[in-house]
Chain A
């Protein structure tokens, strides 16, 4: 028995569940036929994120994202960026809550009012976030076991109900490699892989640049493998065309399960996976957001958690008017206006600024 420290395995599971949570259900956006390849292809450029972020971390002796921004951009501009990131995290959290609620509405409850579902859920998120990153990481390991168990169950059941037809993944690469690569660069790279930037906020607690490099690489590899397998499962059971037009492909795949008329309707299991995953992801985002806002307004982090959770909940209802808007917005505009600047451009500029400013500083 020794007092707790953050366990590297827990950090790994935290990042893995974070990467899997919503993308496992929405899959890689199925605008191209061979969507399972997209995840694989996106993995390689995604590794550049690791390089970029760990370079940022190691250049500043494992400072968190927020102090690093302030250091690079000066006091006022730095604070603006901190605020921007905090709002960005809050916005992603709101979007994820919305995703989850949409799925619960379509799979489990059709008549319960949305605000009730949302408010209960955000209370839980706030409670999770209050525990700090250590508790969230331990919770993640629990979630990972459940989610993996359910995925395996799903795969086995699909197999036994003879819904898996390997021919359904043909024609393979009917339009060549180009659409796949394009889709990888426009979608999968930024979501889920790019969202790992949120962990820069906690990195001082999670083990610094060295740990980040290794653990995140492992998390990326595992997430890539699991996502590809789940994509393949969806294609094998649904076929390319119906996967393309289904919003929750894994859910539709689960509906195919039928073993001797006893085990039917496994969509509840899928709903469970997404509820667990979203809970974790949103609490990570919420925690990062509260850290940022608490830093600017010099308030204790814990005091902000519940109000901000409520704000995120309200945002999740306001964020889009219908699911069509939700999907187009998520797939196109959010990526170009928010993910790319905030995940790539600002960190890159910050890194360059840090290098320039502090190389001189070190010399003098």
Chain B
């Protein structure tokens, strides 16, 4: 009987030597693996964890101290010791009891500490993950003047607590997924149960669980995944991402699903509709009129940034009769002596601006002033004075550039900016007609897209009685 039991336990990997060997086999010679012999009650034990995923003070305070306290005077069996540990000593910590050594290894990688007891089949796995992460700071995008200044950080736990803190509601649900064959990144789906449409929820779950990616370092990857799921070509972004907990929460109230990726301060919102990209969280915290005004201003700026250069080209090179004669003379006077036609002139300056913008975002902070001096003086003033481009051209390009940045979501602006070039091309080929056709194409595209079955842009949807939102 006893020999049989011994052989059984021998098979079940719980002799400490064997565990050590196995750990070594799996983890190799990695320096951050701590395998330390400890005393668990009257028995010998082994604790192992990754030092990079926790800090030693935490281990000392919460794990080792309690191991020592769990010593009992009278002898008890291994199983009882184990239960004692599980129920009384570590009741405050999140813990799990596992049997399979592979699962244990995986948990260790995720930042848990495993406690093996000599000869005991079960392994106690404690969540001791304490990661250093950026403290909560003001978000760098989507700035507001009035309103909460907290922003999401790279830690998903922090982000979830930021959301939960705003919803003191039992209906808030977090569902966990692990994405990436190599990285096993935690992805959380947050929603208000009962509010969100079941069909959409099902689709999101399906997409998340059927993803085939090997690594995931930012929510941008998932954004692309959701985006490419839609049928046909989609020129406009169909996923909203935000760094602001208040923006995310106000979206979740409106029956959306938030997706939090560990390691990314950008939380995704699906389904997304077009007006979302013109909404700043600040709009709700102000007098209604100002909010509405600034929202319309944003739409206006969006339209401006799209069509102004194309319109300029179309009107000056094809339809001069549409310009009031006074303005026409002043434009003509300025363009006198300019060697390029209007379309090339505009393209030249637009591309210059794009280069400046790219340089401005990527360069180190310290050389910033250099770029702005070169940009403003050399490209602005000097080109005009040298007679390479006209003054009105600089006005047009800078107006477009500024209005391009009005959209509260940077990704939206950066994607839409490229349509401008298409429109410039069309209008320099066939004038106003081309511009109108280009705009029509964009509008058709806008109304065609659906984000998880929700129409991207539907003007009168709020008057639909069947709609619940």
Q: Which of the candidate stretches A243-251, A271-279, A304-312 sits at the interface with the other chain?
A: A271-279
B417 interfacial by beta-carbon distance below 8 Å: no
Q: How far is the CA of A101 from the CA of B467 in the complex (A)?
A: 40
- Give B431-460 as 1s and 0s: 1 = Cβ < 8 Å from A's Cβ atoms: 111101100110110111010111101111
> A128 to chain B: which residues have CB within 8 Å?
444
Residues 292-310 (chain A) with a chain B CB within 8 angstroms: none
B271 interfacial by beta-carbon distance below 8 Å: yes
A141 nearest in chain B by CB position: B459
> A264 to chain B: which residues have CB within 8 Å?
324
Q: Are B461 and A7 in contact (CB under 8 A)?
A: yes
From A5, A7, A134, A276, contact of B460 by CB (8 A): A7
Q: Are B444 and A135 in contact (CB under 8 A)?
A: yes
- Give B408-437 as 1s and 0s: 1 = Cβ < 8 Å from A's Cβ atoms: 000000000000000000000011111011
Q: Are B431 and A124 in contact (CB under 8 A)?
A: no
How many residues of chain B are within 8 Å of chain A by beta carbon? 46
Q: How far is the CB of B145 from chain A (nearest CB, A)?
A: 29
B256 interfacial by beta-carbon distance below 8 Å: yes
Give the secondary structure class of A's interface.
helix
Q: How far is the CB of A363 from chain B (nearest CB, A)?
A: 37
> A8 to chain B: which residues have CB within 8 Å?
464
- Give B244-280 as 1s and 0s: 1 = Cβ < 8 Å from A's Cβ atoms: 0000000000111000000000000001010000000
Q: How far is the CA of A142 from the CA of B437 in the complex (A)?
A: 15
From A3, A263, A271, contact of B454 by CB (8 A): A3
B43 interfacial by beta-carbon distance below 8 Å: no
Q: Are B448 and A1 in contact (CB under 8 A)?
A: no
A108 interfacial by beta-carbon distance below 8 Å: yes
Q: Are A2 and B432 in contact (CB under 8 A)?
A: no
B463 nearest in chain A by CB position: A9
A109 interfacial by beta-carbon distance below 8 Å: yes
Q: How far is the CB of A173 from chain B (nearest CB, A)?
A: 39
A134 nearest in chain B by CB position: B455
Interface centre among A116, A127, A138 (most CB of B within 10 A): A138
Residues 198-239 (chain A) with a chain B CB within 8 angstroms: none
A10 nearest in chain B by CB position: B460
Q: Are A135 and B447 in contact (CB under 8 A)?
A: yes
A77 interfacial by beta-carbon distance below 8 Å: no
Q: How far is the CA of A126 from the CA of B13 in the complex (A)?
A: 67
Q: How far is the CB of B357 from chain A (nearest CB, A)?
A: 30
Question: If A139-B444, A139-B447 touch, does A268 touch B197 (CB 8 Å cutoff)?
Answer: no
Q: Are A108 and B431 in contact (CB under 8 A)?
A: yes
B182 interfacial by beta-carbon distance below 8 Å: no
A258 nearest in chain B by CB position: B324
B175 interfacial by beta-carbon distance below 8 Å: no
Residues 1-21 (chain A) with a chain B CB within 8 angstroms: 1-5, 7-10, 13
> A364 to chain B: which residues have CB within 8 Å?
none
Question: If A1-B197, A3-B453, A109-B318 touch, does A135 touch B430 (CB 8 Å cutoff)?
Answer: no
Q: Are B440 and A268 in contact (CB under 8 A)?
A: no
Q: How far is the CB of A11 from chain B (nearest CB, A)?
A: 10
Q: Are A139 and B443 in contact (CB under 8 A)?
A: yes
Q: Are B440 and A10 in contact (CB under 8 A)?
A: no
Q: Are A108 and B432 in contact (CB under 8 A)?
A: yes
> B469 to chain A: which residues have CB within 8 Å?
1-2
Q: Are B197 and A2 in contact (CB under 8 A)?
A: yes
Q: How far is the CA of A265 from the CA of B327 in the complex (A)?
A: 14
From A7, A104, A262, A268, contact of B458 by CB (8 A): A7
Interface centre among B199, B444, B459 (most CB of A within 10 A): B444
A261 interfacial by beta-carbon distance below 8 Å: yes
> A121 to chain B: which residues have CB within 8 Å?
437
From B326, B432, B452, contact of A3 by CB (8 A): B452
B434 nearest in chain A by CB position: A120
A276 nearest in chain B by CB position: B440
Q: How far is the CB of A36 from chain B (nearest CB, A)?
A: 29
Q: How far is the CA of A338 from the CA of B124 in the complex (A)?
A: 84
> B136 to chain A: which residues have CB within 8 Å?
none
B288 interfacial by beta-carbon distance below 8 Å: no
Q: How far is the CB of A215 from chain B (nearest CB, A)?
A: 13
Q: How far is the CB of A146 from chain B (nearest CB, A)?
A: 9
> B453 to chain A: which residues have CB within 8 Å?
3-4
A149 interfacial by beta-carbon distance below 8 Å: no
Q: Are A13 and B444 in contact (CB under 8 A)?
A: no
A111 nearest in chain B by CB position: B318
> A138 to chain B: which residues have CB within 8 Å?
447-448, 455, 457-459
Q: Are A124 and B434 in contact (CB under 8 A)?
A: no
Question: If A2-B197, A9-B464, A13-B460 touch, does A262 touch B434 (CB 8 Å cutoff)?
Answer: no
Q: Are B467 and A142 in contact (CB under 8 A)?
A: no
Residues 142-190 (chain B) with a chain A CB within 8 angstroms: none
B466 interfacial by beta-carbon distance below 8 Å: yes
A166 interfacial by beta-carbon distance below 8 Å: no
Q: How far is the CA of A134 from the CA of B448 in the complex (A)?
A: 8
A131 interfacial by beta-carbon distance below 8 Å: yes
Q: How far is the CA of A263 from the CA of B444 in the complex (A)?
A: 30
Q: How far is the CB of A154 from chain B (nearest CB, A)?
A: 15
From A124, A134, A135, contact of B437 by CB (8 A): A124
From A104, A109, A142, A261, contact of B459 by CB (8 A): A142
Q: Are A1 and B455 in contact (CB under 8 A)?
A: no
Question: If A108-B433, A139-B447 touch, does A9 touch B460 (CB 8 Å cutoff)?
Answer: yes
B210 interfacial by beta-carbon distance below 8 Å: no
**Pairs A-B, 10 closest by C-beta atoms:** A3-B453, A9-B460, A138-B447, A131-B448, A139-B447, A135-B448, A141-B459, A1-B255, A7-B464, A4-B455
Beyond A135-B447, A271-B432, A275-B433: 17 further Cβ-contacts under 8 Å? Answer: A1-B196, A1-B256, A2-B255, A2-B468, A7-B467, A109-B431, A120-B430, A131-B444, A138-B455, A139-B444, A142-B446, A143-B443, A261-B325, A265-B322, A268-B319, A276-B440, A279-B440
Q: List 23 A-B contacts (CB under 8 A).
A: A1-B255, A1-B469, A2-B197, A2-B467, A2-B469, A3-B200, A3-B453, A4-B455, A7-B461, A108-B319, A108-B431, A109-B433, A112-B430, A124-B441, A127-B444, A138-B459, A141-B458, A142-B459, A261-B325, A262-B326, A271-B432, A272-B436, A275-B437
